[in-house]
Structure 1
Amino acid sequence: MLKRLMTSRESLLCAAIILLLVLISTRFPAFAAPSNLARVFNDTSPLILLAIGQMIVILTKCIDLSVAANLALTGMVVAMINVAAPGLPVPVIIAVAIGLGTFLGMINGLLVWKLAIPPIVVTLGTMTIFRGIIFVISDGKWVNSHEISDPFKAFTRAEFLGLPTMSWIALAAVGLFSVVMSRTTLGRAFYAAGGNPHAATYAGINVGQSQFWAFTISGALAGLTGYLWVSRYAVAYVDLAGGFELDVVAACVIGGVAIMGGVGTVAGAMLGALFLGVIKNALPVVDISPFWQLAISGGAIIIAVALNAQASREKGRIILKPTEPSA
């Protein structure tokens, strides 16, 4: 048990993050200060939320490249609603964001499930469509900080026990989906759909429907993150979170999520996101241009996939065990 714990991807990632923090703090001790680590976690919260949704999608042998565009469209919509009706309560705004994100995720899921279109084709298409819709509804204009109401901006910045609201939302999502993935029929269906689709079908699991719900959850989390992102940075524009989908996929595969489906954990996705978050926040400290982040994310995907292929040949959880031949 101890050996398995020491060699698990989560344990190795924790060790890698600690080592990274130690290396950075030897040159810049303030980086490892608790207050700064809390800021790093808060900055990484959007990536954690999207990585959880992406992990569930990848588990089912799919991929969602539209998460950043979903985030941007939802963020623009709620920002424009706030400008038009600044007195609208924040809980209503959040409900609209989650509802719109869920609807956009359902579109992806239905196209994959009912029309059997490859997920990468579907989400590449919807990614472009969502970005186009942002341009149409905003006429290419920005929604800036002075146009956004104070309550809209204050929600994510309010602190409780030393952590901003956005950090608590990310922690709550990690806890909730850890239970969903390990303790519910829906969570087991996600693993089964990606681990062995044929066996899952024989076990009575609708693989296409499982993929639909995976995209729906991913869309809901992207919608929520859309509001949180705009609230935190107080700006909305067409290219909001441009290229962020690469970081989301990188966080998943670094966290041990098998790109071929069936293998992965919520904790792994969170740690993969934190690993990238520490690197992103450390780049300016060590005088490396933040524009290298995309190159680092792309390289991390290749390395992580190679390590996953070499480290384990197992394909997810065993859903159906072969029966012993009778004597």
Structure 2
Amino acid sequence: MSTDLNRPATAKAPEERHRRASGIAAVLRLRELPVMIALVGLVFFTWLVNPLFLSEQGVKDLLLNATIVMLLAVGQALVIITRNVDLSVGSALGLVAFSTGSLFFAMPDVPVIVVFILGMILGGVLGAVNGILVTVAKVPALVITLGTLYIFRGINNAWAGGTQYFAGDRPQEFGALSVNTVLGFPLITLIAVIVVIVVAVFMAGTRPGRDLYAIGSDPDAAKLFGIPVTRRVLLAFIANGVLVGLAGVLYASRFNSVGATTGTGLELDVVAAAVVGGVAIFGGSGTVVGAAIGALLLTTITSALAALRVDKFWQQAIVGILILAAIIIDRLAALRTARKLRISEARNV
């Protein structure tokens, strides 16, 4: 009797071990895993050298520094997954941030929620401009967004001139978003985390989100399967613009001043964060969570090297090395997958 009762458990044991092994293998294959390991290792090493790096204020500064880039990297990931790129995000953020300062200066009593809504609408409009030009004109996004980078920056320069809006020009409750904390997390960082979760669920659990991956993998095949490629790519650019708008408003809350040069050069950091976070530059793979972790890694590198008193040149060099490493790893992974597919097809013949 006992032997019979033990048989199911004995039979299930190999299956359970197989499931555990499969689960471990799946974790090891995560594109975000190397980035997470690098982040933890960097933080730990810096803490050993400089214990103040993980003080309460140090952790808060790390999170605040990463918040804006995290939001921008999430939006950029949506675009890159479709085999496109948006180089205008820095200029668009500057335009939204200066608009936020101008709105508070003209209407000091305007509700903060209205400012957020208007900023996201403006960002969505700028994203729609990019998306329409890319999808209708059929011109590579690299060229289009390089042009709108200068157009948006030129508009901001003409509008702002030498004008700057400082922290004293905004309501106290708006500036408090980057000062107040919940369980040690700054409010604006919590907003960014919520956005990452929402977008991640959208990408993994909805048809439009999965369509973006299909488009990035093979646009022609996506069309044959009935996916509305033009609408989906336009959606990615608009969603990216909305997130840029949100980041622009939070930028105005986070920093002491906004003006004509706000956001200059930020687009390169954003693309780097997405690529380092495992989003394939050739499209079709990667996650917004990985992009957010990549943003946290890059901003942590800057803070860590500053804490270690390393020259700023090396900060830029390390970021460049990470980008090259991410692209090479992604390429090698693609070649390995293609080789496995060829072997599998050969065996089936």
> For residues 36 and 287 of structure 1, what CA distance do their matches in structure 2 show?
15
- What SS does structure 1 have at the residue aligned with 2:209? helix
Deviates more, 1:61-70 or 1:207-216: 207-216
Asked whether the equivalents of residues 246 and 294 of structure 1 are also in contact (C-alpha less than 8 Å), the reply is no
1:226-252, Cα deviation, whole Å (9 max, x unpaired):
010111113111111211111111111
Task: State the 1:196 CA deviation.
Answer: 1.2
Name the aligned partner's letter for residue 176 of structure 1: V
Name the aligned partner's letter for residue 118 of structure 2: V
1:305 match: 327
Matched, 1:205 2:227: yes
Deviation above 4 Å: which 4+ runs of structure 1? none
Structure 2: which 5+ residue stretches go unaligned?
1-22, 339-344
Name the aligned partner's letter for residue 241 of structure 1: G
Matched, 1:257 2:266: no
Asked whether the equivalents of residues 67 and 192 of structure 2 are also in contact (C-alpha less than 8 Å), the reply is yes
1:84 match: 106
**TM-score, normalized by length of structure 2?**
0.86
Name the aligned partner's letter for residue 196 of structure 1: D
Asked whether the equivalents of residues 153 and 234 of structure 1 are also in contact (C-alpha less than 8 Å), the reply is no
Aligned residues with identical type, % of pairs: 36
1:30-86, Cα deviation, whole Å (9 max, x unpaired):
213455224312220111101000001000000000111111000001111111111
Name the aligned partner's letter for residue 140 of structure 2: P
1:174-222, Cα deviation, whole Å (9 max, x unpaired):
1101100000011011101111111110111121221111110111000
Alignment of 1:95-114 (within 5 A): 95-114=117-136
Asked whether the equivalents of residues 63 and 186 of structure 2 are also in contact (C-alpha less than 8 Å), the reply is no
| Alignment match of 1:31 (pick from 36, 53, 58) | 53
> For residues 142 and 289 of structure 1, what CA distance do their matches in structure 2 show?
30
| Alignment match of 2:151 (pick from 120, 126, 129) | 129
- Of structures 1 and 2, the larger Rg is shown by 2
- Give me the CA root mean square deviation: 2.0
**TM-score, normalized by length of structure 1?**
0.92
Structure 1: which 5+ residue stretches go unaligned?
316-321
Asked whether the equivalents of residues 157 and 261 of structure 2 are also in contact (C-alpha less than 8 Å), the reply is no
1:319 match: none
Asked whether the equivalents of residues 70 and 130 of structure 1 are also in contact (C-alpha less than 8 Å), the reply is yes
> For residues 76 and 69 of structure 2, what CA distance do their matches in structure 1 show?
10
| Alignment match of 1:17 (pick from 39, 59, 67) | 39
2:260 match: 238
1:298-327, Cα deviation, whole Å (9 max, x unpaired):
332222111211133358xxxxxx9xx9xx
> For residues 259 and 145 of structure 1, what CA distance do their matches in structure 2 show?
37
Size of the aligned set, in residue pairs, is 319
Task: State the 1:16 CA deviation.
Answer: 1.2
> For residues 288 and 237 of structure 1, what CA distance do their matches in structure 2 show?
30
Asked whether the equivalents of residues 133 and 144 of structure 2 are also in contact (C-alpha less than 8 Å), the reply is yes
